[in-house]
Structure 1
Amino acid sequence: MAWICLIFAGAFEIMGALSLNRLNKDKSWKSIILLIGCFSLSFLLLSQTMKTISMGTAYAVWTGIGTVGSTIVGMFLYGESKDWRRLLFISMVVIAAIGLKLVAS
């Protein structure tokens, strides 16, 4: 259950990054509330996760989900570079997160 909670925390982290981009383009109250809501849910779920999963593993996986997810969304929605080197380093982050999951107790 904690790992599912961590995945949702990472998903809200991605949505927070997207809402940050939206706020940059549209400085409305709706954008501000969306930004605060997404990041608040992300932190709340992360803190719940840390009751079961060690802090180092949970934080590393959470940031990995946020980093990889935001980068991939940027590539597909905002036309950011899909250079092979960028994809290589994204895959390294994913492999590291999986490795942490495998060795977590």
Structure 2
Amino acid sequence: MNWLLLILGGLFEIGFAACLGKVKETTGLESKLWFGGFLVCLAISMFLLIKASKTLPIGTAYAVWTGIGAVGTVLIGIFYFNEPATFWRVFFISTLIFSIVGLKFVSN
């Protein structure tokens, strides 16, 4: 169950990073609404990380949480914000994914 909470927390981390990207692109009320979304996603993400780390090792939990956020944020950047998908970006994101999966397998 705690792995599920951690994955969900990582997804909300992707959400707050995506909202931050939209805050940068917008102005006025729309920007403030995206900032509100950023704060909500941030709070939920942190809460889920705290809940998951009660039984998972903090080093593993934090690494997996940030890894999910990093990979997801790069993918959102590529598919939603039209950032380049160069060979090296995809290569290093792939190595990050393999590292996250590896941490899951070696953790109790």
1:3 — aligned with what? 3
Structure 2 unaligned spans of 5+: none
Deviations 1:44-87 (A, max 9, x none): 00000000111000000000000000001110111111111111
- Residues 1:53 and 2:60 are matched in the alignment: no
Aligned-partner residue type, residue 78 of structure 2: M
Q: CA deviation at 1:32?
A: 2.0
**Residue identity matched to 2:40:** G
Gaps of 5+ in 1: none
CA deviation vs aligned residue, 1:15-38 (integer Å, no higher than 9, x gap) = 000100111122433122111000
Q: Distance in 2 between matches of 1:9 and 1:2?
A: 10
RMSD between aligned residues:
0.9
TM-score by length of 2: 0.93
TM-score (norm 1): 0.96
The corresponding residue for 1:98 is 101
User: Residues 1-105 of structure 1: matches in 2 within 5 Å?
Assistant: 1-27=1-27, 28=29, 29-105=32-108
What is the rounded CA distance, in whole Å, between the counterparts of 2:22 and 2:87 in structure 1?
27
How many residues align? The count is 105
Distance in 2 separating the partners of 1:38 and 1:25: 18
